[in-house]
A and B are shown apart, each in its own frame.
Chain A
């Protein structure tokens, strides 16, 4: 090990304090230096601004039509569900689902016909295709996950239901996502 040649000085405690103080301050400085180096990789201000909430006008969406919009770089399905699809989504034994969740928890109250989902398969991230699969819901072509008209996982390797983005109805025909 390194051999520090020192004569015994009158007050070893004072010398040690100096060494400890210097080393501590240098350590604090090194840690503080790391902060900007790591923080710079977080989303920058323009990225955060571009991820601001968006408003979507629902009136052009026909009954049974699904449109895709983007928010924060993620695809969002807005599904104008038919009455048949709504009933199929509600008449389900929730306990038997792989990821149990009633349809009412996946729509806004009084707006059952509007299904707003993040269109990213919870398995490995592909975009499921709308109006596909045995439930007329969504089908992910990558590994065969099947979702129903509520976006809940029914068959296949995906573990969870399709996620919901934060959104709210600013009027009956307009939602704000984000």
Chain B
């Protein structure tokens, strides 16, 4: 195996040498990892955090960002912010949505109902671009639509630690990654802002969060860091509303399969026992079709 080992070693060496060649491009730094209540095999959403995140969305983000895949009724679903149906209905009624054409063919606004989804602040992308110069993305699945290169060998570890929080770690870091003065030599065009974690560092969204911007009534700190975490957790829920059910059922399936595998293993051993014990003696079997050399 000596020659094979040498070749393998050479390949690995070449690979290792080639890795630093890219590191100096303007890849933003990896965002710091946070502790999330919904991470890991037993992860669950923190209801209070989701409710705070909903508040941050409604008071800060929804001016520009839609949530058009999220129905108001899901706010009352299990595994989510845990509002009552009445509370969800009250939130829905605060929004105006386009109704059905009336008898004269006119389409008028009406208050939202539980079955409706959060309306978008803009009728279409062009309207958004005309207002802001860029299109603020809809936030329904943004926690799954963002991530960052974990790199080898971290991604191997991720398989075992079940790290699926790249999106929320990135969003949290982005929301308080703004710098008033960019580093020396970096030019930011007017109307844009410097953000440490945004690819290319130039972001059109102004820093949305400041301390004490949103009132928390449950005693949580009203800091930018806390707002960023809460809105990120809320956005994880909008992206994966069935996360808790998924992990719960997953544990049941997993345990079931492990037990089944063990039983099948011992069954296999028992079935093969005779054949392995006396390889030359097999009881007569139906004639085979093997007249082969």
Contacts and interface: CB of A to CB of B under 8 A. Distances in A.
A and B touch in the complex (CB under 8 A): yes
A9 B273 contact: yes
Given A3-B283, A5-B274, A45-B73, 14 more contacts: A3-B285, A3-B286, A4-B271, A5-B282, A7-B274, A7-B277, A19-B270, A22-B260, A25-B256, A32-B256, A45-B74, A49-B114, A50-B115, A52-B113
Given A5-B282, A49-B71, A22 B275 contact: no
Interface in A1-18: 3-7, 9, 15, 18
Contact of A29 (B74, B114, B260): B260
A26 B285 CA distance: 28
B274 A6 contact: yes
Contacts of B271: 4, 6
B277 A5 contact: no
A46 interface: yes
10 contacts: A3-B285, A4-B271, A5-B285, A6-B274, A7-B274, A15-B270, A22-B260, A29-B257, A45-B73, A49-B71
Interface string A47-72: 00110100000000000000000000
B259 A18 contact: no
A15 to B, nearest CB: 5
* Shortest 9 CB-CB contacts between residues of A and residues of B: A49-B115, A22-B263, A5-B283, A7-B274, A22-B267, A6-B274, A25-B260, A49-B73, A50-B115
Interface of B: 71, 73-74, 113-115, 256-257, 259-260, 263-264, 266-267, 270-271, 273-275, 277-278, 282-283, 285-286
A21 interface: yes
Contacts of B114: 49, 52
A54 B230 CA distance: 36
Contacts of B274: 5-7
Nearest to A24: B263
Q: A-side binding surface: helix, strand, loop or mixed?
A: helix
Nearest to B264: A22
Q: B-side binding surface: helix, strand, loop or mixed?
A: helix
Interface residues of A, number: 20
Nearest to B77: A45
Contact of A46 (B115, B256, B260, B275): B115
Contacts of B115: 46, 49-50, 52
Nearest to B74: A45
Interface centre among B71, B74, B115 (most CB of A within 10 A): B115
A121 to B, nearest CB: 26
Contact of B263 (A5, A25, A46, A52): A25
Contact of B266 (A3, A4, A18): A18
Contacts of A19: 267, 270
Nearest to B115: A49
B275 A5 contact: yes
A15 B267 CA distance: 8
Nearest to A33: B253
A22 B269 CA distance: 13
Contacts of B282: 5
A46 B71 contact: yes
B277 A18 contact: no
B212 to A, nearest CB: 37
Interface centre among A22, A29, A52 (most CB of B within 10 A): A22
A6 to B, nearest CB: 5
A139 B18 CA distance: 82
A19 B270 CA distance: 9
B254 to A, nearest CB: 12
Contacts of A3: 283, 285-286
Contact of B278 (A7, A29, A45): A7
Contacts of B270: 15, 18-19
A19 B271 CA distance: 10
B16 to A, nearest CB: 45
A4 B285 CA distance: 9
A22 B277 CA distance: 23
Nearest to B283: A5
A25 B259 CA distance: 9
Interface centre among B71, B74, B260, B277 (most CB of A within 10 A): B260
Contacts of B267: 18-19, 22
Nearest to B260: A25
A177 to B, nearest CB: 15
